[in-house]
Structure 1
């Protein structure tokens, strides 16, 4: 069995980012934990090369050649913020928050919301592809 990839734990006493995300899901213990666990599974399914990170004192982050998205939990919403969301096509109109900026876009998931799993996985793959193409352009420019 392949060990899960993980990134910076930011001084958390040795727990891996994946362990910290597991703990957050368990700690929430309600629909928010279930939703975070579900989107996490979809992210990993959509991009098997994704790296889990734990940043900014407790935010789950999924990266592939740069941040794909973060998974913040609030009282009434689980917010998936895509770092370069404004540059992604969103034909299924999943983005419903942070629409005014030039860079980020977010998806606010409420307790009764159904997740369009196929559309979310397409968005994850597009974000990873954008990151890898941006990274390739950066490294090509350094030659």
Structure 2
């Protein structure tokens, strides 16, 4: 577990701009939603050798990625989740996946995101 935390810390530190700060804040919100969440790094490939952070509980809850113009939090079962606060703003046309793109200076609605994470955990359970 400590190794994974260090790997995610390294991914965040690698971006020395707003994206690292935003991913760090999203990580805090996601992990605070439920102490049973596990954190891992997956999908290392030549174009992204550091991989991407993944948070799970009974299956993947969400994935964090730093894109060029946004930080994306992807929910693999997002289409099955209620989104009364309209957080999902990316990958809306797929049958299962939904995502939240947070641009530079974008608002992080902590309570709404926490509720979405908890619903995704429940959906996995």
In the alignment, is residue 55 of structure 1 matched against residue 48 of structure 2? no
TM-score, normalised to structure 2, is 0.92
Please list the CA deviations of residues 46-98 of structure 1 after superposition, one character each: whole Å capped at 9, or x if unmatched.
Answer: 01111001000101100000000000111111010001000000000000000
Equivalence for 1:89: 82
Give aligned pairs, total. Answer: 119
CA RMSD after TM alignment: 1.0
Equivalence for 1:26: 13
Equivalence for 1:74: 67
SS, match of residue 128 in structure 1: helix
Q: Which residues of 2 match residues 35-54 of structure 1 at below 5 A? A: 35-54=22-41
Moved over 3 A (4+): none
Which structure is richer in relative contact order (CA contacts within 8 A, separation 6 or more)? 2
SS, match of residue 104 in structure 2: coil
Equivalence for 2:117: 124
Equivalence for 1:65: 58
Equivalence for 2:96: 103
Whole-Å separation in 1 of the counterparts to 2:93 and 2:5 = 32
TM-score, normalised to structure 1, is 0.81
SS, match of residue 91 in structure 1: coil
Whole-Å separation in 1 of the counterparts to 2:104 and 2:83 = 22
- Give ranges in structure 2 of 5+ residues lacking alignment: 45-50
